[in-house]
Structure 1
Amino acid sequence: MIHSRARRDPVAVARIMEGMSVLARVLRAVGGEEVLDRLSGLSGSDLTTLLLALARRRAGARSGADVVRQYRSDRFVAPAEVPFAVLRAAEDRLLAALPPSFSVLGLAPLAPLGTCSAVAEMDQNNVVSTVRGTEVAADPTNALALEAALRRRSGPDDVRLAAVQRVVRAQLFHGAGRFAHFTLFAAVSAGRDRGSLAFEREHFAEHVEYLRAACGDVEFRVTVLDPRYEVVRGTLPADPSRRTGYYKGLCFKVFRDGVEIGDGGFVDWTQRLTGNRKERLLISGVGVDRFATL
């Protein structure tokens, strides 16, 4: 089935159809659809055992020249184009401006399989899945939401978390297709609904103030998805044309010198993770590579 958001994007639809055609060809070569059915029916540990054996066999057949050849051409393994010192300076600036109420985490480079597709509704083909039932980190806000959901179970206080993480995206981007990995700064604020949008007003104002302090002279464009959230938007410019994706209530984008460097908004991820509809979560993020070059 084609993802609902992909139906609106002809390029995405074409890529999905091409992928389905390739899969059909591969299945014919290995014995048909029933092979995929049998593999998907294996337990997690049995499937991991099989995939590890396959990876070991394929790796054992490779030479040093094969590895160099892949390193030269594979967009997933090339070094970052932005110089390290420039990236590090941007990271330090973002972290230095963070309010002391936020806890900064050193996130793992892997997340549980389905972290993006189950919570943020990202197509699983857009993340790099591993043979051990995990996926390579594609967005630190998803991992921070998991941690926030765990911490919210241990007490009534609001949870504020942040992280800087190098992430990998598998989809092909327009233009030079070499930006398969990049650094993201992310911040999340989680808590319980207090009524009258009190949680939303407090934490949205805090994120806006922080992003201004960290990123300098930036422009916010806010999309209100629920009329009640006009009071949360306040005097910030409205942007009614944006596609909303997974955001609820209100979302925003951040621009500097006319270049989009970040976005954020309210999501229902902690509601899904905890099964509690009273939970609230605000996320925001900055593309560090892009911010660093401005």
Structure 2
Amino acid sequence: MSDPMLERIQREAGIPELIDVLVERLAPTDLQSLLLEVYRRRAASVQPSHLLERYERDRFVRPSALAPGVLADFDRLVWSLLPEHYAAIELSPVCPLGTNVSVATVDQNKVVTTIRNTEVVADATNVLALECASRRRLLLRHNSQSRERIRLCASHRVVRAQAYQAAPGVLPHFRLLGLCTAGRDEGSFQFETTSLIEHIAFYVRLLREVSHLGYQTHRVRVTLTDLEHGRREQTLTSQVFEPLMAYYPGILCELDPDREAGRGYYAGVCFHIYATNGAGTELELIDGGFTTWTQQFLSNSKERMLISGLGTERLCSQFSALSVETD
């Protein structure tokens, strides 16, 4: 919200310091109680006919264009391929207020904030990171040097408030498959290389196996970006790319030193995975990288974390053999 708009609201309310009062002088629980009463009264005045109009025009509430069975089939494939040492969890629709802005470079205006000091999940990996940190903290209480890794996965519908370009099927909410691996620095870049192989190998296998569901994914391409001025490029080539190409002959692996997206969000190394659909268009499907989130949550510089995510509906809608035939 722009400053002139805030000034207008305060002026029309007759309370010049309205924002300061709400933010600084009211306890979070008091502000919550106030807003609950405000919206209780507003909700009571909503007429059914107006509700239907709102449902039809509000971009946040319209249903996905994909059938539930399509998403369920994709998730079943995911769970069948997920390595045994990963735990699949079902996330809550909401998470603590500030989950994104406190550790990630995300403006709070891009998140749907609730009046109960929570926010609607905008990125499953942020919440997986919190769960990883909680589990790591329990391990560290028993052994302050614990290297035991926490590996979590979730398939979750997320909501993002930023304005997207209007296009058929483009909604502020979509299903996101997220992976998160947390642990402790193991020296010699060992945590980083093995975690990268785990995440990337899972996605590459998934992109191959989706053919059983009728999706066409050709020319799978993996790119790695060393965000520390190329210091690790040789290590990434020998310890990540070479094992991956041995496991999955035919995949393309490239260093991408010119990548700009994700700088300031990721730390150390990040990656993209692309695939080409039946129409011959290459699309980015998976984004991932290391973050300092568990270091911040646990105030421990030795903690390490790799996150990654795949947009389920992007894959299902853009790589369907049926969609190519009907174009």
> Is TM-score (shorter-chain normalized) higher than 0.5?
yes
Q: Alignment partner for residue 240 of structure 1, among 254, 257, 261?
A: 257
Deviates more, 1:237-246 or 1:104-113: 237-246
Contact 1:200 1:232 in 2 (8 A): no
Matched, 1:166 2:157: yes
Counterpart residue number, 2:227: 225
Correspondence list, 1:121-136, <5 A: 121-136=105-120
> 1:108 offset after TM fit, Å?
0.4
Matched, 1:274 2:293: no
Counterpart residue number, 2:176: 184
Question: 1:229 & 1:108 partners in 2: Cα distance?
Answer: 37
Q: 2:267 is paired with a residue of what secondary structure?
A: coil
Query: What amino acid does structure 2 have at the position aligned with 1:187?
Result: L
Query: What amino acid does structure 1 have at the position aligned with 2:285?
Result: I
> 1:260 offset after TM fit, Å?
1.2
> 1:94 offset after TM fit, Å?
2.2
Question: 1:228 & 1:245 partners in 2: Cα distance?
Answer: 17
> 1:173 offset after TM fit, Å?
1.3
Normalised TM-score (structure 2): 0.81
Q: Alignment partner for residue 119 of structure 1, among 82, 100, 103?
A: 103
Query: What amino acid does structure 2 have at the position aligned with 1:192?
Result: R
**% identical equivalent positions:** 40
Counterpart residue number, 1:205: 197
Deviates more, 1:221-230 or 1:142-151: 221-230
Correspondence list, 1:141-152, <5 A: 141-152=125-136
> 1:33 offset after TM fit, Å?
4.3
> 1:136 offset after TM fit, Å?
0.3
Query: What amino acid does structure 2 have at the position aligned with 1:232?
Result: L
> 1:103 offset after TM fit, Å?
0.4
Question: 2:118 & 2:232 partners in 1: Cα distance?
Answer: 36
Normalised TM-score (structure 1): 0.90
Deviates more, 1:246-255 or 1:267-276: 246-255
Q: Alignment partner for residue 68 of structure 1, among 44, 52, 56?
A: 52
Distance 1:86 1:32, change over 3 A: same
Matched residue count: 277
Distance 1:90 1:20, change over 3 A: farther
Contact 1:204 1:232 in 2 (8 A): no
